[in-house]
Structures are given as structure tokens and as C-alpha cells.
Amino acid sequence: MDAAEAERYHEPQIAVFADEGVDLVSALTLTYAEEAVGIVRAGERHGVPVVISFTVETNGRLPSGQALGEAVDQVDRETDGAAAYFMVNCAHPTHFAGVLEQGAPWLERIAGLRANASTKNHEELDASDELDSGDPDDLGERYRSLQDVLPRLTVVGGCCGTDERHVAAVARAVTR
């Protein structure tokens, strides 16, 4: 979808949320910037702040091929910075840590992270017969190290393969 199509597609759901008085809406695991633009515009139309969460492949790029920073910048440029903040989800920190350029302005817009437990790529995860739960303590330490690069990181959690062990490890690591 282009941005206008995405806005029309997501607008009815956001309208319901707005009518019910929600504080904000989140769009998770987005794979390209145009959909994010449409969602943010629909949220703006209804006065509801929107959180955009992109997923990336093992090379740190969105499945569309766009760099994560370029996607954040595009959404901000095309919506006058209307997204409440951005997140990364459904990817292991090893998939994107290398593209987080210390001091890059777009990093100020990333406030949340919900990483996968596994270092496997999306195709490997889809083809797996059993859950790869990775290493909870390693995941927690990777979140902690990302705090140095993501100054606004305040929303943390888990995505594919995570459970209470991962959440506890992340909580211990980021509150040190």
C-alpha cells in the first residue's frame, strides 16, 4: 500500500479507538515506511498519538530494503514528526545494533524495543518446528548496551520466543 491507501485501510480501526478514548495506538512489526505514514496520518486525523514499531532483517534493514534510520526520517518528514515515538520489534538486537549510529538524530525518536529471543532470521523462525528461546541473560545485556545508543529507551519488552525469563533478564539489565 502507498501512504494514502494505508491511511484509508487503518483509519476505521483508529476511529474506533479514538471514539473509545484510548491514550495512544501502536502499530507493530511494520515492514515499510509508507504504511507507517498512513497510520500516523489516520491517528492525527482522529487526535490519537501513534507509536510506530518497525521490524528489520538480520542486516538491520526493513524487509522493504530501506534502512531503519531512513524509514524513521521518512515517516517524520511526511507527517511533520507526528508519531509519538518509534520502536523496533520482532528482531534480535544483533540484527540492528550495528546500524544504530551513535548520535544520529533519528535515534532520539526510538523509545521502545521488543526484541525476539532468537538470533534466527524471520525465514528460519517461520520454518522452525520448535521454539528457539535464545539466551535470556544475553538478551538482557544486549538491551542494556542499547541504552547507551538509544537515549530515550523507556519501553521494553519481548517479542517472538520470549517468556518471563527474558522479561526478568531485560528488567534487571535496564534498571541497573
Other CB atoms within 10 A of residue 123 CB: 10
| Dihedral angle over CA of 121, 164, 23, 66, nearest 10 | -10
What is the spatial distance between Cα 25 and Cα 14, in angstroms, rounded to a whole number? 8
**CATH classification at residue 71:** 3.20.20.330
> Which segments of 5-138 are extended strands (E)?
25-30, 50-54, 85-89, 110-115
User: Tens-of-pLDDT digits for all 176 residues of the chain?
Assistant: 999 999 999 999 999 999 999 999 999 999 999 999 999 999 999 999 999 999 999 999 999 999 999 999 999 999 999 999 999 999 999 999 999 998 999 999 999 999 999 887 778 888 888 877 899 999 999 999 999 999 999 999 999 999 999 999 999 999 97
Count of domains observed in the chain:
1
Entry pTM: 0.94
Q: Are 68 and 56 in contact (CB under 8 A)?
A: yes
Q: How many CB atoms lie within 10 A of CB 40?
A: 30
Enclosing domain of residue 120: 3-174
